[in-house]
Structure 1
């Protein structure tokens, strides 16, 4: 079964609230690697609960190998012989930041990859993968576009699955009938999103935050740009953005080094020839301030953002840990404690750094009762201001470190997790020792270092703020208490 992106299922993807849309590319879990060696060592087997005996689970030991194909594709490989299958993930610098003057081109191109190849339409392609017990996946985001394959490693399944996969990613035909169908889905989705205040707020937020930068426009394009996208434009985009020199090939599974090299070579040769695309320009600092979207509803969406960091920033570990305490760690964070638990103002509130190729956003998002929106916004700003001025407490820091140490083994719990991590490591040019480096840095951090990093990269008065909801008389916030008089009644409205 095909895992399609937001273009293929536009109605669903565009119905997501804007914060979730942004968090689709937030990497709140660090990527993992280990040092390059010549011979792959078997990975650890799964641990039973009885074996753990209440101890923190050990992280799966990886042995990452890397090389470059003759065509210039970067390859990262981990042998995992426990199951007779493999995961292959291609990560291209082919996200919407490469759209140029045609918003939506990157997403449309990615969505059309498996709509047709020579001699096969979309149905035949899907049946081909399913008949082999294989799974094709694809998606496009701001920084990147991906295509993936999961297959059994027995030659009788592996080779035909690879042959079909390389056709799909290397020689798509972009059939006109499929293009018309997907455009109609997208246009219907754009109409639906007009009734979604969270989505409208998210679009406005990125526009105000990034201005003329390639990150500013929505990945899926808009109702003005999508109808004009042509097959010729998609072919040209595919030729340059899906080139062998612009891809990271990640492989995990029951494969020898020779098997992995053969797969990588087949994939690399199937892609158009060409170099990596140029790095994106750095965004300019936006003008802070409040922007309101009038919308008839019972709740108001509140979104606050400012420019954060790129994925290679040396303060990444300190900011990750600091944000876990502020609002990235779910229940128990300062934002959840003060806004939900003590006052019952929201169903959920979260914050996060989206570390990207160039400076991604730091965002805080929630929705609250319309008559409490102004007071809630001020409360959020006060919490951030106090946190940046004082930093975390020692207990908050210790608790966050302990939680991270306990959850971190999940980052390599499955082959699918690992192949995603490898793709990110290669795409963002992280060192192969990244996992060990990250954990060592986090555990060595003290309160002063976390405070300094958060204060360096965030300023309480520099937020771009977007609200979406009705203009109604405002009420004073309830005082903090262990038992708020009115708690959120359910899942927030979309």
Structure 2
């Protein structure tokens, strides 16, 4: 269905929805500097962060109303183009799965070409088409050589796919069957069942509540006419962000953006999604015959433009967002052997996305493990991080941050995220500056402001069995549980 995984870079979206679904950015100077173009030895860094690629981001609006972000990159004779539409499942309008089906059908047919001819057209040009739909957004992308003999026909086909999809009935039936088969498969996946239930609990009647792929009840009734109407409304030029990176001049980038924008339906941006209401806290359990119990512990987090984003990102890295060495991983896995992995994250979206802690553990220890995780969260919100934890997290982030612009695909994902969430062009530099300046108290204050250990929504999926006491913490925990439910 989704022929390209969303690549929004390190900071496009935390945890993705949603991801989500999700997840999901100064930039000044067009190319890699001489030093940055060379491989670096870690020994040469001497404790400093690796050199990060410096970009020159330019922005404008097409005559049809599409917002464009462009970064020239002349190292390779190719370009990456990504269109991001406010056309995710939050725009389904009471027809769950409408956005997903529309996006999946884009490359199934255009006038005079069926899905096979479209695929052969891109392949014959050495070009790559990608698409996907999520809660906030739908995307379509093109990667092509920048030489005109490949670029022009690839762009012409891409513009047809986005602007003139025919939504053939035979393809619609096939993709519906694929979705319905997926729903049957989900019934055997306790983690997926728990995730679906969690979003229902967190969001109630909000557009984020229903699954992006729709439901077994909604998908069969969706018609070709509904897809056409959704495309005309949600794939309009004014509802689009165009991100473009590669071996192009400014005039070539403008011509590409204008060509694609003119091919789209003409219309304005759709209204922003309203903020959700806080859900009722408490626990829900899904009975499932397995040895493992999946635990999802969540509450509403923040939207993507929240001023506390940097502080929450850093605070979560210490709590459970960066793998080994986090508080949750140390206490739950390393000292007690209760799980192979426990992770936390904010999924910041157009409206308030979820903050979530997720893990799976042995069924007979699930209640004790849940109590332990909730206590660790409460302790962290009360105490805040230590200076060593803060310094280590800053150092780790500084070391990994250059990966967010390591390739043209990474950069186009960053630009798409910046444009879609209305972030400033200086976002990447601003973020690193803000993170490195944070104090213990600022991180503690931000985490405590946005998280409440008494407001948690908990969903578990597993068997109801007699519970055992947790083992005490030790340097040599017992055998870790299997990651595969039995």
TM-score range, shorter chain: over 0.9
- Whether contact under 8 Å (1:25, 1:354) holds in the other structure is no
2:31 is aligned with 1:42: yes
Question: Where does 1:5-24 land on structure 2 (aligned, <5 Å)?
Answer: 22-24=18-20
The counterpart of 1:187, out of the listed 154, 158, 180, is 180
1:138 to 128, 131, 135: 131
CA shift for structure 1 position 5: 6.2
The equivalent of 1:377 in structure 2 is 370
Task: Work out the CA distance in 2 between the residues paired with 1:307 and 1:431.
Answer: 25
Tell me what 1:477 maps to.
470
The answer for the alignment partner of 1:268 in structure 2 is 261
SS of 1:362's equivalent?
Answer: strand
Matched, 1:86 2:85: no
Q: Residue 61 of structure 1: which of 54, 70, 76 is its match?
A: 54
1:97 equivalent to 2:90? Answer: yes
Counterpart Cα distance in 2 of 1:493 and 1:364? 18
In the TM superposition, residue 33 of structure 1 has moved relative to its aligned partner by: 5.3
Report the Cα offset of residue 51 of structure 1: 8.8
Cα deviation for residue 21 of structure 1 reads 5.9
CA distance in 2, matches of 1:231, 1:286: 35
1:412-443, Cα deviation, whole Å (9 max, x unpaired): 00000000000000000001111111111100
Per the alignment, residue 492 of structure 1 pairs with 484
Cα distance in 1 for residues equivalent to 2:104 and 2:395: 41
Q: 2:384 is matched with which residue?
A: 391
Q: Structure 1's 58 and 20: CA in aligned 2 closer, same or farther, altered over 3 A?
A: closer
Does the 8 Å contact 1:205/1:464 carry over to 2? yes
Cα distance between partner residues in 1 of 2:113 and 2:43 = 50
Once residues 404 and 20 of structure 1 are traced to their aligned partners in structure 2, the CA distance between those partners, rounded to angstroms, is 18
Residues 20 and 319 (structure 1 numbering): CA distance in 2 closer, same or farther, change over 3 Å?
A: closer
C-alpha contact (below 8 Å) 1:367/1:492 kept by paired residues: no
Query: Considering only aligned residues, what root-mean-square deviation do their CA atoms show, in Å?
Result: 1.6
Give the aligned partner of residue 311 of structure 2: 318
Alignment of 1:186-335 (within 5 A): 186-335=179-328
Match of 2:450 in 1: 457
Question: How many angstroms does 1:3 deviate by?
Answer: 6.0
Provide the secondary structure at the position in 1 that maps to 2:341: strand
Q: Whole-Å Cα distance in 2 between the matches of residues 97 and 307 of structure 1?
A: 16
TM-score (norm 2): 0.95
1:354 maps to which of 347, 353, 361: 347
Task: Write the distance in 1 (CA, Å) between the matches of 2:390 and 2:439.
Answer: 8
Mapped to 1, the partners of 2:366 and 2:212 lie a distance apart of: 29
Cα contact 1:293–1:469 (8 A) shared by 2? yes
Determine helix, strand or coil for the equivalent of 1:62: coil
Shift of 1:339: 0.5
Kindly indicate whether residue 107 of structure 2 is the aligned counterpart of residue 108 of structure 1: no
Offset of residue 485 of structure 1: 2.0
Would you say the 8 A contact 1:206–1:216 is kept in 2? yes
Q: Indicate conservation of the 8 Å contact 1:170/1:271, yes or no.
A: yes
* Residue-pair matches, total: 473
8 A Cα contact 2:294 2:460, kept in partner = yes
CA distance change for structure 1 residues 108 and 284 in 2, over 3 Å: closer, same or farther? same
Distance in 2 between the 1:476 and 1:318 partners? 36
Structure 1 residue 52 displacement after superposition: 6.8
CA distance in 1 between partners of 2:322 and 2:257 (Å): 38
Report if aligned partners of 2:17, 2:134 keep a CA contact under 8 Å in 1: no
Distance 1:93 1:437 in 2: 25
Say if 1:303 and 1:364, in contact at 8 Å, map to a contact too: yes
Q: Distance in 1 between matches of 2:393 and 2:484?
A: 27
Q: CA deviation at 1:98?
A: 0.1
Q: Residue 233 of structure 1: CA displacement?
A: 0.2
Show the counterpart of 2:3. 4
Kindly state the Cα deviation for residue 49 of structure 1 after the two structures are TM-superposed: 3.1
Structure 2 contact 106–162 (Cα < 8 Å) conserved: yes
Change (3 A) 1:470 1:93: same
Q: Which runs of 5+ in 1 are unaligned?
A: 7-18
Contact 2:22–2:135 (8 Å) recurs in 1: no
CA distance in structure 2 between the partners assigned to 1:33 and 1:276 by the alignment: 27
CA distance in 1, matches of 2:473, 2:83: 49
Structure 2 gap ranges (5+): 6-14
Shift of residue 195, structure 1, vs aligned partner: 1.1
Does structure 2 retain, via aligned residues, the 8 Å contact 1:99–1:105?
yes
CA offsets per residue over residues 280-333 of structure 1, 9 Å max, x none? 111000000000111111000000110000000000000000000000011100
CA contact (8 A) 1:311 1:356 kept: yes
Are 1:26 and 1:352, in contact at CA under 8 Å, matched by a contact in 2?
no
CA distance in structure 2 between the aligned counterparts of 1:493 and 1:72, rounded to whole angstroms: 49
| Maintained 8 Å contact 2:329/2:342 | yes
Cα offset, 1:491, TM superposition: 3.2
Task: Give 1:50 deviation, angstroms.
Answer: 4.3
What CA deviation, in whole Å up to 9, does each residue of 1:19-48 have, x standing for no partner? Answer: 9864545547xxx2526xxxx633335331
Compared CA separation, residues 251 and 204, structure 1 to 2 (3 A): same
Match of 1:432 in 2: 425
